[in-house]
Amino acid sequence: MILLSRGGIKILIKMKSKVFMYILLLLLSSRSYAQSANAGKNPEPIILDEQRDLKSQLLPLDSILEIAVKHSPSVKFQEDLIGSAKAQLEFTKRLWTNNIVGFVNYSGGNQSIVSADSQSPGTLSSSNVTSGVRAGIQINLPLYEIVGRKSRLKIYKYELNSTIDKRAETEQAIRQNVIQFYYNLLYASDVMAIRNEARQSTINQSLIAQQEFKDGIIQVSELSRLKTIEINARADYEEAKRQFSTMYSQIETIIGVPVQQLIVRR
Domain positions in the chain are: 49-98+148-262
pLDDT value, residue 115: 52
What's the whole-model pTM score? Answer: 0.65
CB 81 within 8 A of CB 166: yes
In this prediction, residues 16-31 reach a mean pLDDT of 50
Encode pLDDT of 122-133 as tens digits: 555 555 555 667
Encode pLDDT of 30-69 as tens digits: 554 444 444 444 445 556 777 788 888 999 999 999 999 9
Residue 18 is inside which H or E element, if any? helix 6-41
pLDDT value, residue 79: 92
**Going by CATH, does the domain composed of 49-98+148-262 fall within 1.20.1740.10?**
no
Radius of gyration of the chain (CA): 44
In this prediction, residues 218-224 reach a mean pLDDT of 91
Distance of alpha carbon 228 from alpha carbon 235, whole angstroms? 11
pLDDT band at 119 (very low <50, low <70, confident <90, very high): low
| Number of alpha carbons in the 13 Å side-chain half-sphere of residue 51 | 0
Encode pLDDT of 100-112 as tens digits: 676 676 666 555 5
Residue 100 is inside which H or E element, if any? strand 100-107
In this prediction, residues 71-90 reach a mean pLDDT of 91
In this prediction, residues 131-150 reach a mean pLDDT of 69
In this prediction, residues 167-181 reach a mean pLDDT of 95
pLDDT value, residue 122: 54
* Amino acid code (one letter) for 42: N
CB atoms within 10 A of CB 97: 8
pLDDT value, residue 184: 96
Distance of alpha carbon 49 from alpha carbon 57, whole angstroms? 8
The DSSP annotation for 37-79 comes to: HHHHHSPPPP---TTS-HHHHBPPHHHHHHHHHHT-HHHHHHH
